């Protein structure tokens, strides 16, 4: 065993197969958004090889769903093979988008284990894997794949329990498993230990992964992971990069996803984490990748005498080249006929994709009722109050009219 620090690459949540805001890429025959995700994975592996990585932990969710088509499987395998060919062992943790819905059924990553790809470990069950790194260092990787409810349902005594009770039992099961894994790695105190888990942790900031989540989620307490037996905690599942242990040991890190899923991730940095790991110490660095920019342009022309000129001038001030763009225009009802989406799209010709042009029209009803309020959602009294307010009725007169109206509402209770 050598004593060199371990250079570890931590990445997760590639979600190959996401096609929203994409179109056919003529060079590859794939959806342009699929190409984006594959390019980000290429970039992550380039970073790893340039920095002479010793081991890679992929913390789950290789694909968009549990049944990736053969092309997506081939493209993911090509990139993993680059690491394998360079002598870099890879731990592939099974995430919720990778695993089959039935317990013991094959995950989308199991093929690597069946083919016995050199240096590739598929972690589909809780357990500790002793990994020999590229330069001969030993590393303990404790794997916690996404908690699978079907494992409990397979046991007859749990089948009729409410979902909330099942979630509680799954949380307890995961907690017990992590405790047992910590006890196991503690038996070899001289070998660095990493906990790799694909799950939600209390205190983490959620991102747009909620829009692509499969089923309900189970949340694990952060205190359960803040155990000094671990030198680093490599998390996947939440797309926003963050460190949860406030700079204390061990670092508890979501590396985040490699590409933006939608506009909910517009402001998030995307990238990978490089870790310099020794027993009792982990120095880590977040390295951004060139994720496709998402740009929202909001324009208010309600005070404009020439709304289209003002819209085009405002669009020209925003860098949209190669970005996925949406435009939200707030205008008066009287201005709506002047809005020309064709001219707006021409101005956005440099964008990779125009996701939408939304006309947020300030209609008469909205001005009376308040923005975001639907007349169908109001009680008769609420509707009358808002009407009287819009007419600037005096408080005394308003109170008198409402008092008379209450009698009418009471007579017609069964009709409203």
User: Which DSSP string do the residues of 130-190 spell out, in sequence order?
Assistant: EEE-TTS-EEEEEEEPPP-HHHHHTSGGGTTS-HHHHHHHHHHHHHHHHHHHHHHHTTSTT
Q: Is 282 helix (H, G, I), strand (E, B) or coil?
A: strand
The domains of the chain, with CATH numbers, are 6-288 (3.60.21.10), 294-362 (no CATH), 368-411 (no CATH)
pLDDT, position 383: 79
**Confidence check: pLDDT of 222 > 90:** yes
**Confidence check: pLDDT of 384 > 90:** no
Ramachandran quadrant class, 392 (left: phi over 0; alpha: psi -120 to 50; beta: rest): left
7 — pLDDT class (breaks 50, 70, 90): very high
**Confidence check: pLDDT of 170 > 70:** yes
pLDDT, position 415: 43
pLDDT, tens only, 81-138: 999 999 999 999 998 888 766 555 677 887 776 677 788 999 888 999 999 999 999 9
Q: Is 247 helix (H, G, I), strand (E, B) or coil?
A: coil
Higher pLDDT, 200 or 149: 200
Cα(382)–Cα(123) distance, integer angstroms: 58
Look over the chain and give the mean of its residue pLDDT values, rounded to a whole number: 87
pLDDT, position 411: 57
- Compute φ and ψ for 198, nearest 5 degrees: -115, 95
pLDDT, position 395: 80
pLDDT, position 416: 36
pLDDT, tens only, 11-52: 999 999 999 999 998 889 999 999 999 999 999 999 999 999
**Confidence check: pLDDT of 361 > 80:** yes
The DSSP letter of residue 14 is: -
pLDDT, position 372: 52
* Upstream peptide bond of 138 is cis (omega within 30 degrees of 0): no
Comparing 20-24, 92-96, 209-213, 354-358, the range with the smallest average pLDDT is 209-213
């Amino acid at each position: 065993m050598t004593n060199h620090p371990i250079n570890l690459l931590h990445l997760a949540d590639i979600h190959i197969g996401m096609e929203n805001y994409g179109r056919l890429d003529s060079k590859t025959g794939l959806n342009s958004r699929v190409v984006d995700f594959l390019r980000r994975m290429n970039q992550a592996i380039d970073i790893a090889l340039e920095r002479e990585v010793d081991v890679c932990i992929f913390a789950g969710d290789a694909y968009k769903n549990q049944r990736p088509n053969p092309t997506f499987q081939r493209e993911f395998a090509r990139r993993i093979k680059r690491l394998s060919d360079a002598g870099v062992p890879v731990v592939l943790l099974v995430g919720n988008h990778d695993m089959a819905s039935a317990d013991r059924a094959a995950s989308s990553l199991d093929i690597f284990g069946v083919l016995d790809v050199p240096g590739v470990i598929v972690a589909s069950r809780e357990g500790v894997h002793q990994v020999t790194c590229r330069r001969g260092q030993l590393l303990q990787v404790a794997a916690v794949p996404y908690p699978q409810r079907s494992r409990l349902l397979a046991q007859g005594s749990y089948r009729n329990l409410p979902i909330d009770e099942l979630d509680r039992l799954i949380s307890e099961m995961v907690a017990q498993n992590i405790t047992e894994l910590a006890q196991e790695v503690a038996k070899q105190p001289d070998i660095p230990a990493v906990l790799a888990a694909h799950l939600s942790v209390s205190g983490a900031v959620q991102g747009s992964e909620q829009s692509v989540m499969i089923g309900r989620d189970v949340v694990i307490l952060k205190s359960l992971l803040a155990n000094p037996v671990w030198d680093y905690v490599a998390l996947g599942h939440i797309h926003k990069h963050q460190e949860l242990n406030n700079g204390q040991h061990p670092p508890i890190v979501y590396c985040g996803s490699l590409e933006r899923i939608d506009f909910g991730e517009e402001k998030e940095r995307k990238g990978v984490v490089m870790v310099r790991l020794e027993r009792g110490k982990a120095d880590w660095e977040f390295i951004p990748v060139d994720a496709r920019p998402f740009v929202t342009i909001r324009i208010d022309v309600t005070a404009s005498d020439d709304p289209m000129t003002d819209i085009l001038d405002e669009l020209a001030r925003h860098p949209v080249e190669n970005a996925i763009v949406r435009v939200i225009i707030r205008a008066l009802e009287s201005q709506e006929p002047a809005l020309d989406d064709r001219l707006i799209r021409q101005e956005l010709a440099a964008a990779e994709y125009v996701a939408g042009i939304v006309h947020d029209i300030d209609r008469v009803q909205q001005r009376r009722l308040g923005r975001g309020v639907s007349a169908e959602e109001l009680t008769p009294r609420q509707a009358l109050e808002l009407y009287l307010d819009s007419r600037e009725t005096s408080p005394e007169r308003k109170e008198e009219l409402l008092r008379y109206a209450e009698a009418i509402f009471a007579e017609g209770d069964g009709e409203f």
